[in-house]
Amino acid sequence: MIRDLLHNKKRLSLPKGTGILFAMMFLMAPVQIVAQDTPRVTSKIDSTHIRIGEQVQFEISVEADTTTLVVFPEGQTFAPLEMVRASDIDTFRNKDRMNLIRTYALTQFDSGHYTLPRQKIIVNNKELYTDSLQVLVNDIAVDTTTQKMYDIKPLAEVSRNYSDWVRYLIWGIVFLAVAGALIYWFFLRKKPLTQEEKEALLPPFDRALLGLKQLEESRYLIQSQYKEYYSELTNIVRAYLEEEVHISAMESTTEELVAKLEMMQQAGKLNLEKDTITNFKSVLQKADLVKFARSRPDTHGAEEDRKVIENVVVRTKEAIPEPTEEELLQREEYIAEMARKKRKKKRITTIIIAAAVLVVALGGAVTYYGFTKVKDTVFGHPTRELLHGEWVNSEYGYPAIVLETPQVLKRTAIELPESLKQVISTNQTFTYGGLLGDFHISASVTTFREGVEFNMEDAIQGSVKTMEQQGAKNIIVKQDEFTTPSGKKGIKVHGSMDITLPGTEKSEKGEYIILNFNEKGAFQQVIIIHRQDDRYAKDIENRIVNSIDFKNQ
């Protein structure tokens, strides 16, 4: 430097002697050596040629001061290559310097030329970058002369998943079992008979004798309750005569009842002695006096009256002629008819109770869930079954678009016109349902030939025209910018239209949404079409839209 200053003295037009002065100043100045504390970042890769699925070792090295804070890359920052693992940071010290080294294992499962992007390293809040690198991923060579090649297998139909219906079936069985158990317990089972029911099933003669026995053991006479005593005494004998002799005894007066017995005796239908009828009439008259005239008989007389009535019952049983075969047959038919009516009544009661339980259950469900939801659950609704079915998350096309749909989309062959074949390299379309069905979904990925300039607006207009060709009319088109939950930007085209039903002039109102993306040099499009009045379609649409993503290739 001194030599240069002296050499250029004349050119700089410095005063005489100035050059010598500068030279002396530099020579006399103390020499200072400054340590090189600037951090240095280097990177290297063990190979730039790999086969599909093999791994390359990418190493980043940072040389810096021992007090320097260094942050290495984290996560999948190496796309299009995929990071398999990252090693721990190795640290090597050299006096007041340190060398930090971290190695990343990277791979790729598709052949092609890939650029490993520059990686950012933060050193004391300062950003430093590595160099970008080129990596070639080769196909695995296949010897087709010895290895037989096979066609791709076609799509296989899988059986429908009935997990939801099994759950409904189990709950239905539980409900029916509980309802059946309640009906059986309260209405169908043979309950233990009470004492009153057992007595009611006894024949009239046995029931009358039992009643008289219980009356004898009662406390009516001890407590001077003569009215109650004679009321029960006459009711026992009147009930017996009505059932056994078949005369209207309960509603008849004393005179009428005695007259009926005498008429049956004279007609030969009741072989009853006259004294028995006379004694019976005497007891009935005394009972009338006690019940209506407040007469007070003595206790001994009351006990004797009970014995008279017991004798009347026994004599009447003996006086009844034996029934003929015709009468026995009629009685059996009557009993059978009564049993049939009883069974019919029980069946009707069971049906009414079951219907009532069902109505109450449905009423509670309608009150809690609403009529429409209950109706769709019981009778079914096509889009409700889609919404609550088992959804599928899958990748479609290449570069792949990721979607979650209620059914797997099937690959659909699209015949391209010759004009489009000149610009389109590949077109992969996957669909479910049709434009005129309950719900339509399509996902397509289109790549273009090299040098073709893609215009998304033209592609959108082509999609709208395709819907018109398939029967859509009065299409209202709205266009907005759209961003997926994963941050991918695209164009959203949506609106309503009239869908003409095939074979008729009737049309229904429909809604559509077309999502358009330009990712990784390809045009991806998702189309959803459904009926406007479908109460489940919007939920399906929102779930599909919120699942859209693009796989890092």
Sign of CA dihedral 241, 247, 253, 256: negative
Region 333-343: what's the mean pLDDT? Answer: 80
Matching fold, domains 195-321 and 382-550: no
pLDDT at position 19 is 36
pLDDT at position 29 is 34
Helix (DSSP H) and strand (DSSP E) numbers for the chain: 16, 22
Is the pLDDT at 4 greater than 50? The verdict is no
Region 305-323: what's the mean pLDDT? Answer: 86
How would residue 107 be classed by pLDDT, with cut points 50, 70 and 90? very high
Q: For the domain with range 42-138, which CATH number is right: 3.40.50.150, 3.40.190.10, 2.60.40.420, 2.60.40.10?
A: 2.60.40.10
Task: Output the six-digit token pair for 189.
Answer: 């089972």
Question: What does the pLDDT look like over 471-511, one tens digit per residue?
Answer: 788 888 888 888 888 788 888 988 888 887 766 677 788 88
Question: What does the pLDDT look like over 349-395, one tens digit per residue?
Answer: 878 877 887 787 777 777 776 777 777 766 767 788 888 888 988 88
What residue ranges do the domains of the chain occupy?
1-31, 42-138, 195-321, 382-550
pLDDT at position 193 is 66
Please give the Cα distance from 372 to 483 (Å, whole number).
Answer: 34
Region 26-52: what's the mean pLDDT? Answer: 66
Tell which wins on pLDDT, 109 or 29: 109
Question: What does the pLDDT look like over 69-81, one tens digit per residue?
Answer: 888 988 888 888 8
Is the pLDDT at 305 greater than 80? The verdict is yes
DSSP notation for 296-335: ---HHHHHHHHHHHHHHHHHHHHHSPPPPHHHHHHHHHHH
- Is there a contact between 512 and 494 (Cβ–Cβ < 8 Å)? yes
pTM passes above 0.85: no
Is the pLDDT at 58 greater than 90? The verdict is yes
Question: What does the pLDDT look like over 126-175, one tens digit per residue?
Answer: 888 898 888 998 877 666 566 666 667 776 666 655 556 666 678 778 88
- Please give the distance of CA 303 from its chain centroid, rounded to a whole number: 78
Please give the Cα distance from 87 to 122 (Å, whole number).
Answer: 18
pLDDT at position 142 is 61
Tell which wins on pLDDT, 159 or 465: 465
Is the pLDDT at 531 greater than 90? The verdict is no
How would residue 89 be classed by pLDDT, with cut points 50, 70 and 90? confident
Is the pLDDT at 24 greater than 50? The verdict is no
- Please give the distance of CA 486 from its chain centroid, rounded to a whole number: 27
Is the pLDDT at 121 greater than 70? The verdict is yes
Tell which wins on pLDDT, 153 or 179: 179
pLDDT at position 33 is 37
Residues with Cβ within 8 Å of 388's Cβ and at least 6 positions away in sequence, in order, are 164
Q: What is the mean pLDDT of the chain?
A: 80
Question: What does the pLDDT look like over 202-226, one tens digit per residue?
Answer: 888 888 899 999 999 999 988 989 9
How would residue 271 be classed by pLDDT, with cut points 50, 70 and 90? confident
How would residue 234 be classed by pLDDT, with cut points 50, 70 and 90? very high
Region 236-253: what's the mean pLDDT? Answer: 89
Is the pLDDT at 542 greater than 70? The verdict is yes
Is the pLDDT at 519 greater than 60? The verdict is yes
pLDDT at position 161 is 58
Kindly state which CATH superfamily the domain 382-550 is placed in.
Mog1/PsbP, alpha/beta/alpha sandwich (3.40.1000.10)
Side chain identity at residue 329, one-letter code: L
Q: For the domain with range 195-321, which CATH number is right: 1.10.287, 3.10.450, 1.20.120, 1.10.8?
A: 1.20.120
Please give the Cα distance from 205 to 237 (Å, whole number).
Answer: 10
- Is there a contact between 122 and 129 (Cβ–Cβ < 8 Å)? no
How would residue 25 be classed by pLDDT, with cut points 50, 70 and 90? very low
Is the pLDDT at 10 greater than 60? The verdict is no
Is the pLDDT at 235 greater than 90? The verdict is yes
| Residues linked to residue 442 through DSSP beta bridges, in sequence order | 431, 527
Question: What does the pLDDT look like over 372-383, one tens digit per residue?
Answer: 777 776 676 778
Give the number of C-alpha atoms closer than 13 A to the C-alpha of residue 62, restricted to the C-beta side: 28
Angle formed by the axes of helices 254-266 and 274-292, nearest 10°? 170
Tell which wins on pLDDT, 13 or 450: 450
pLDDT at position 285 is 92
Is the pLDDT at 524 greater than 70? The verdict is yes
Give the number of C-alpha atoms closer than 13 A to the C-alpha of residue 537, restricted to the C-beta side: 16
